[in-house]
Chain A
């Protein structure tokens, strides 16, 4: 465990040292978050609270609804891409082979390579939420913190699972990852991040039931804006748990198989 932690710190330090060299990118990230908040705020002024049942549910209007949806959707989308991105970066920089020839296994290398993205993404998420509260007066005082954390934890485990699946696809296909393409694209439309699901046609609403982010955002809005407890969000929680239980071992097994295939065919470091 100590060795694992030591490696985790080494990966985070590596990425922090590299990223801290790109100061403009950091500042642009901050400005982009602010611009997102401003955009959502003004869209929120156009959308009346009674435009949808979902908006009226918490009585707070569009901006808090979209703030939670977009901030977390971005974070989950990052998880979807971070593993495959880290593999591809390591392939392009030529460091993947060097890492894989070390005494650390491929799964650990890929998992820990994404740790910095996970942490920096979480910080950006917090910044967006804090910006929404401080600059635009979103009230999160009723938030049920334990329930929110539980939903977040389950959601992270699911999107990490999909991220590992996506990494398997990158190891297998090199470019053109269908997992991110399908899930990322579908989530943006059907996940309910930007607009409530109930404004969509019935057939699209039915389709949204197969999109995991729907359950995450539904539960997060309930716990953060409505103060719902674990019992109240039991249904989406149970769905998230079921997905996590199935997905985690499947994604780990598929990634291991993809790495083995890559080693057998000599394509692991090709991009």
Chain B
């Protein structure tokens, strides 16, 4: 077993084992290099999320010219994620970083069961996201970075009532939960306003409230502060860290472009570039070595250009 904080670039297959939240053991990054892999199971730690050699390819629609010239030739594909393997432990807070188009959102959507992998397997609590999609999704909540994932002609509370019903809550229980969450995300005074009148920050808070309705064990946030001003950004970070993670010790996966946000919110970092997981590291080990998160990130994304 090789344990290192130095990202190994250019490997087509690797396993990132990230674990400390449950055991308090400090960082461990295990990357498979010559076929030898150490998983948390071998270490006696069950993982809540497991990615096993996952590849995701998206087909590119054929153009008329291609249809005309090569009607039988298979269409082209774009590979968003290649041979990604990782084990994520319950309670981990992982920042997923990488350049735009690196495969971050694809990875998160695969974990949430919104996408099915082309190859490999994603399991949540041991359940395949393909074969037990509904059951696997129960443990995962996804906060979209899209502002347009709400009904703008409904109020914030009406939106939560609707999405809460989809999460199998009803009646007094649902109303109570909505009251709690509206208070938690600081939308008490805006709950009865139409979402069309919400600012980006308010919509992001509402998105957080929506995903918390079902109280999932795993919380996935796709660039939660992307469209926010610095103040709203700070508020969102505090909300996630102080009120959500501290209170419930959820497993967090946060895609972000902001190193400072990753440093505050997360205990671990996963860097994706060109569809490959280029490195995974525990942030405390980086600081012990005197390496900054940004340095590590740079090494991962610049050491070798993806094929």
Contacts and interface: CB of A to CB of B under 8 A. Distances in A.
Interface of A: 2-3, 6-7, 9-11, 13-14, 17-18, 21, 93-95, 97-105, 109, 260, 263-268
A17 B153 contact: yes
B154 interface: yes
A268 B133 CA distance: 15
Given A7-B165, A103-B138, A97 B170 contact: no
A101 B114 contact: yes
Contacts of B302: none
Nearest to A5: B170
A173 B299 CA distance: 42
A95 B114 contact: no
A256 to B, nearest CB: 11
Contact of B162 (A13, A21, A264, A268): A13
B148 A103 contact: no
Contact of B134 (A6, A10, A93, A105): A105
A98 B137 CA distance: 12
A264 B148 CA distance: 23
Interface in B148-166: 148-154, 158, 161-163, 165-166
B146 A109 contact: no
Contacts of B126: none
22 contacts: A2-B170, A3-B168, A10-B166, A17-B153, A21-B153, A93-B152, A94-B150, A95-B148, A95-B150, A95-B151, A97-B114, A98-B149, A98-B210, A101-B140, A102-B137, A102-B214, A103-B134, A105-B134, A263-B113, A263-B115, A264-B117, A264-B118
A250 to B, nearest CB: 22
Contacts of B117: 264
B208 to A, nearest CB: 13
A266 B154 contact: no
Contacts of B56: 266
Contact of A103 (B58, B112, B166): B166
Contact of A17 (B115, B154, B168): B154
A94 B56 CA distance: 22
Contact of A95 (B109, B149, B165, B170): B149
Contact of A102 (B115, B146, B167): B167
B116 interface: yes
Given A17-B158, A103-B137, A105-B134, A264 B115 contact: yes
Contact of A18 (B112, B154, B166, B168): B154
Given A103-B168, A104-B166, A97 B149 contact: yes
Given A103-B214, A105-B134, A264-B116, A14 B167 contact: no
Interface in B164-203: 165-168, 170-171
B296 interface: no
B162 A14 contact: yes
Contacts of B118: 264
Given A3-B170, A21-B153, A93-B151, A98 B165 contact: no
